[in-house]
């Protein structure tokens, strides 16, 4: 009886994790100002990633990283419909100078604009940068022609993530 009860409690997470797997092969095509796609892998680089959730590792995820200064903003242009994941962090990165907080999106802003938060349980772990900042992951279906200007923090932009297409 305990096993059945445990299964029923976990069922919503299992269904959600299954829904995430259904997104593989349905990534949007995007371009991001001053950011370039690279494989999402662990790296010793100080701007790299210390831990990567199994979901992203298992599906050959690509993450967009800055090639130049982004001023904490991800300027995304959607070139083809599909799903887009974002990694965001709200840890302290500096004072309010520059009025950057006026542009910042909170979790509430993301949810009000149709973004879904993905739990670390569904992803199979946390996405953590080498500066020890754990990321909050969101996803949304985006449409060709959309232009998104997103900010979560003073220096780190939201990091767009795409899944590898199905073979």
Residuewise pLDDT in 10s, the chain (167 residues): 444 333 333 334 433 555 777 677 789 999 999 999 999 999 998 889 999 999 999 999 999 999 998 988 999 999 999 999 999 988 666 666 667 777 887 899 899 999 999 999 999 999 999 999 999 999 999 999 999 999 888 778 999 999 986 54
155 within a domain of the structure (yes/no): yes
**pTM for this structure?**
0.84
Q: How far lies 129's CA from each of 21, 40, 136, in Å?
A: 24, 11, 12
- Domain for residue 167, yes or no? no
Who's near 129: CB < 8 A, 6+ residues apart?
A: 47, 48, 49, 50, 89, 135, 156
Q: Are 127 and 45 in contact (CB under 8 A)?
A: no
**Residue 85 lies inside a defined structural domain of this protein:** yes
Q: How many domains does the chain have?
A: 1
Domain carrying residue 148: 2-162
């Amino acid at each position: 009886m305990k096993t059945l009860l445990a299964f029923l409690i976990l069922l919503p997470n299992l269904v959600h994790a299954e829904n995430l797997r259904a997104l593989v092969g349905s990534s949007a095509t995007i371009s991001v100002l001053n950011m370039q796609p690279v494989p999402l892998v662990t790296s010793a680089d100080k701007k790299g990633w210390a831990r990567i959730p199994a979901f992203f590792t298992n599906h050959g995820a690509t993450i967009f990283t800055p090639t130049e200064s982004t001023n904490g903003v991800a300027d995304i242009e959607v070139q083809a419909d599909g799903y887009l994941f974002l990694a965001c962090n709200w840890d302290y990165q500096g004072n309010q100078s520059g009025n950057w907080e006026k542009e910042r999106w909170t979790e509430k802003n993301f949810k009000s604009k149709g973004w879904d938060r993905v739990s670390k349980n569904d992803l199979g772990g946390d996405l953590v940068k080498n500066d020890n900042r754990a990321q909050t992951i969101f996803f949304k279906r985006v449409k060709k022609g959309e232009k998104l200007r997103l900010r979560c923090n003073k220096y780190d932009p939201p990091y767009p993530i795409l899944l590898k297409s199905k073979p």
